[in-house]
Amino acid sequence: MSTPQRRRRGAERRPRFAIAVTALFFVLLYLPVGVVVLFSFNAQKSLTVLDGVSFRWYTALLHDEVLLDSLGMSLRVSLVAMAGSLVLGVALALGLVRSRSRLGSFAGLIMLVPLITPEIVTGVAAMLLFKGLGITLSTTTVMLAEITFSISYVTVILRSRIAALNPEVEEAAMDLGATRGQALRLVTLPALLPSILASAVLIFALVFDDFVLAYFTTGVDPQPLSVRIYSAIRFGVQPTINAVGTLMLAGSIGLILLALAIPRLFGRRGGLDLLSGK
Amino acid sequence: MATRSNRTGTALQPPQDPAEPKPPPRGPKDRTRPAPSPGTRARTRRPRLWTWLLLPGTLWMTGFLVASLLLVATLALGTTDPLGNPRFGFDFANLTALADPAYSTVLLRSLGYALITCLISLAVAYPVAYAIALCGGRFKNLLIAAIVVPFFANYLVRMYGWSVVLSDDGPLLKALRAIGLADDGTKILQTGAGVIAGLVYGFVVFMIIPLYAAMERMDTSLIEAGRDLYGGPLRTFLFVTVPATRQGAAAGCVLVFLPAMGDFVSAQLMGGPDQIMIGNLIQDKFFQGQNWPLGSALTMLLMAVLFLGMLGYLRRTRKDEAEAAR
């Protein structure tokens, strides 16, 4: 349709201004991340002068018991929050799409609350609830709060996916003798597996990096890694933070790439597409 | 999609169950299927299982989320006893305390910072979304991924890196000095500009993604039409692109404004004690001040402001939809 002449005219009209802004935006987007990574290898304590390459901040990290404890706690919290929110969220998403009871519209409404409430509000609220019930803030309270927060994400991700499933395949399984539960377990859940795994990875990354909710619901010791980083950068610059930050960055990027790769790993092979109706 | 799933649907059509009134074969969208008879359908087509599945999640969310938010609302009317312990009550002292100029200044500052953050994010996101959506070609997805990936880096680490970049002898001010745009006394950190820079860096992604989605959906022949009618680039952008993507922009503004209003990290790391936002006040009342009822009242104030903002957004989008339907 577009003649060569027209394409040439279009090329003349390339939005140079927009492209320049985009280039500058990318520079500024990556500069802070780059600074953290670069200075994590600095031989000196300075944050402005690079002075030789060393791994001293990484080795310092390995001997920092407090930080390692925090890392362990963050990993435990992320795993538990991932598992808990998946169980509750997958069930909720299935119910939201398939059930037409009045409970569904209520559930659909409160599920949106965490997404449109600033984290500081949910954080304050969770803290007050635990204190009001006389529960000492600890690793467990962080886990409970993070599960609550993550259910919404699982449900939002899976809802559209379930809506795209063809329910008649389930009905076919039942006509072949499966019960409703067996059809769910043997047909629907395997079809949803890629999306479930992808949201699992995403939840893990989000919870591991979460700060505000963890900050309000954590006890004294151990504290989640992000809370530990917060106190470190508030009270003086410590180059180990660059090393921690670099490792967290690498971990997050790895997880995001994994989440993106999962649907592809399952590919367009197998019976999955038949079920999804795609 | 509907036609394709229909194909699989007809191929897998289950045999008729004599006990069950079978509706005519339709697509997978069961909702649109007319009810054969209300009583039997509820039992046979929509088994209780789905409702049962709703229950644990709903109970959990009600117990932890709804209950805790109600607790904040109730405690906002509470008091503190002489020992500083929070007491429930029915007292409007906290709400009237909010009228204190010290608090209204902070609230107005937070509103101002969040609004400026929205405007700057719009100014940044429009060219970026435009350039990627219209000139990205086959690199579109890669470029968008490149924007999203740093967003998944830890928020605190990103903010910390940004504060290093903006620091008095950081790379940005050095570069600005080199080209003569700043002198030795120019500061970004410890000023309001630093706080806004932090907020923009933290949340601009939320503006770019919906705007990019809107630009992707936009009919680009409209832009060509604008050019054919001798509109300059700026006129075409203002009178064609902006109106066509304003829903994406509105969604982006909400997504940026919500977290920007509630943020307390940026004001802490980039601003000074005289740059605090309402989030810092709330944090202070709960951790240093130990005045939970007042902290709850401030939290409710924040929620009220955001609720009004959401209401405005919803009215706006509804008006847009009504216009589109006409």
Q: What is the pLDDT of residues A85-134, one digit of tens each?
A: 999 999 999 999 988 888 889 999 999 899 889 999 999 999 999 998 99
CB spacing of A15 vs B145 below 8 angstroms: no
Poorest-confidence range of B15-19, B84-88, B181-185? B15-19
Q: Which of B17, B135, B152 sits opposite A14 (nearest CB)?
A: B135
CA distance, residue A147 to nearest chain B CA (Å): 9
On whether the CB atoms of residues A48 and B169 are closer than 8 A, the answer is yes
* Calpha distance B103→B209 (Å, rounded): 34
Q: Which residues of A touch B231 (CB under 8 A)?
A: none
Sort out which chain B residues have CB atoms less than 8 A from A164's CB and list them: 1
Nearest residue, CB atoms, B258 vs list A32, A106, A118: A118
pLDDT of residue A273: 36
Q: Where residue B152 falls among pLDDT bands split at 50, 70, 90?
A: confident
DSSP character string of B259-279: HHHH--HHHHHHS-GGG--HH
The whole-number average pLDDT for the span B182-189 is: 86
**Residue type, position A133, single letter:** L
Whether A124 sits inside 8 A of B72 (CB atoms) is yes
Place B232 in a pLDDT band, splitting at 50, 70 and 90: confident
**Nearest residue on chain A to B161, judged by CA atoms?**
A32
Which is higher by pLDDT, A240 or A22? A22
- Residue B260, token pair as written in the block: 């920007």
Least confident of A226-230, A232-236, B142-146, B254-258: A232-236
- In B, minimum Cα distance to A126 occurs at B68
Instruction: Please indicate whether residue A152 or residue B23 has the higher confidence score (pLDDT).
Output: A152
Give the pLDDT score at B72.
94
Out of A150-154, B28-32, B167-171, give the one with best mean pLDDT.
A150-154
CB B97 within 8 A of CB B294: yes
Residues B27 and B5: beta-carbon distance below 8 Å: yes
Q: What is the pLDDT of residues B36-82, one digit of tens each?
A: 444 444 345 556 888 899 999 999 999 999 999 999 999 998 877 76
Average pLDDT score, chain A:
86
Which residues of chain A make contact with B8, given a CB cutoff of 8 A? 166, 168-169, 274, 277
Residues of B in contact with A241 (CB under 8 A): 157, 160
Q: How confident is the model at residue B84 (pLDDT cuts 50, 70, 90)?
A: low
Nearest alpha carbon to residue B227 among B218, B216, B240: B240
* Mean pLDDT of the residues in chain B: 83
**B165–A15 C-beta distance less than 8 A:** no
Q: What pLDDT shows up at residue B237? A: 86
Cα angle A214, A216, A220 (rounded to 5 degrees) comes to: 80
Q: What whole-number distance in Å separates Cα of residue B199 and Cα of residue B270?
A: 9
Using CB atoms within 10 A of its CB, is residue A267 exposed (0-12), middle (13-18) or buried (19+)? Answer: exposed
Q: What is the pLDDT of residue A237?
A: 65
Size of interface A-B (CB pairs under 8 A): 283
Alpha helix stretches (DSSP H) within chain A: 4-12, 16-39, 56-62, 65-98, 102-116, 119-132, 139-164, 167-175, 180-183, 189-209, 212-217, 225-234, 240-266, 272-276
CB contact under 8 A, A230 and B150: no
Q: How much is the pLDDT for B249?
A: 94
What pLDDT does residue A2 have? 44
Residue with tokens 């350039």: B131
Q: Are B296 and B78 in contact (CB under 8 A)?
A: yes
The minimum CA-CA distance between B326 and chain A, rounded to whole Å, is 28
The shortest CB-CB distance from B127 to any of A18, A249, A278 is to A18
Residues of chain B contacting A165 with CB distance shorter than 8 Å: 28
| pLDDT score for B48 | 81
Check pLDDT > 70 for residue B324.
yes
More confident residue, A66 or B36: A66
Residue of A99, A150, A242 to mutate, testing the B interface (most B Cβ within 10 Å of its Cβ): A99
pLDDT of residue A183: 87
Among A3, A120, A166, the residue to mutate for chain B (most B Cβ within 10 A): A120
* Predicted local confidence at residue A276, as pLDDT: 35
| Assessment of whether the complete model's pTM goes beyond 0.90 | no
Closest CA to B199 of B141, B277, B315: B277
| Three-state DSSP state, B80 | strand
What is the per-residue pLDDT across B1-39, written as a single tens digit (0 to 9) for each?
333 444 333 344 444 444 444 444 444 444 444 444 444
Q: From residue A115, how far is each of A9, A191, A277 by CA, in Å? A: 45, 27, 29
CA distance B36 to B41: 7
Q: What is the mean pLDDT of residues A34-54?
A: 84
Percentage of chain B beyond pLDDT 70 is 84
Q: How many CA atoms lie within 13 A of B215 on its CB side?
A: 25
C-beta neighbour count of A106 within 10 angstroms: 15
Task: Say if residues A207 and A218 touch (Cβ distance below 8 Å).
Answer: no
Count of Cβ atoms closer than 10 Å to residue B297 Cβ: 27
A62 CA to chain B: closest CA distance, Å? 19
Q: Tell me if A36 and B164 make a contact (CB, 8 A cut-off).
A: yes
Tell which residue, B189, B241, B215, has the closest CA to residue B134. B215
Write out the two tokens for B164: 């290093």
Chain B interface, best mutation among A3, A14, A31, by max B CB count within 10 A = A31
pLDDT of residue B46: 55
Residue A12 has pLDDT above 70, yes or no: no
* B128 to chain A, closest Cα gap in Å: 5
User: A118, B262: Cβ pair inside 8 Å?
Assistant: yes
Q: Hey, what amino acid is at B106?
A: V
| Higher per-residue pLDDT: A206 or B219 | A206
Smallest Cα distance from A15 to chain B, Å: 7
pLDDT at residue A144 tops 50: yes
Q: Catalogue the E-assigned strands of chain B.
A: 79-80, 86-87
Of the partner residues B47, B53, B124, the one whose CB lies closest to the CB of residue A91: B53
How buried is residue A187: exposed, middle or buried, by Cβ count under 10 Å (0-12/13-18/19+)?
buried
Q: Which residue has the higher pLDDT, A225 or A276?
A: A225
Mutate which of B151, B160, B189 to disrupt the A interface (most A C-beta within 10 Å)? B160
Cα angle, residue B82 at apex, residues B77 and B88 outer, rounded to 5°: 25
CA-based nearest residue in chain A for residue B309: A116
Strand ranges inside B166-301, DSSP E: none
- For residue A157, the distance in angstroms to the closest alpha carbon of chain B comes to 15
Query: ipTM score here?
Result: 0.86
Question: Taking CA atoms, what residue in B is nearest to A26?
Answer: B147
| Lowest-confidence segment of A23-32, B222-231, B291-300 by average pLDDT | B222-231
Q: Which positions in chain B touch A189 (Cβ < 8 Å)?
A: none
CB A222 within 8 A of CB A139: yes
Nearest to A226 among B64, B65, B154 (CB): B154
pLDDT at residue A7, as a whole number: 45
Q: Is residue A89 within 8 Å of residue A154, measured between CB atoms?
A: yes
Mutation for A interface: B4, B30, B68, B245, most A CBs within 10 A: B68
CB contact (8 A) between residue A118 and residue B5: no
- Rounded to 10 deg, the angle between the A189-209 and A65-98 helix axes is 140
* Segment B89-139, tens digit of pLDDT: 777 778 888 888 989 899 999 999 999 999 999 999 999 999 999 888 889
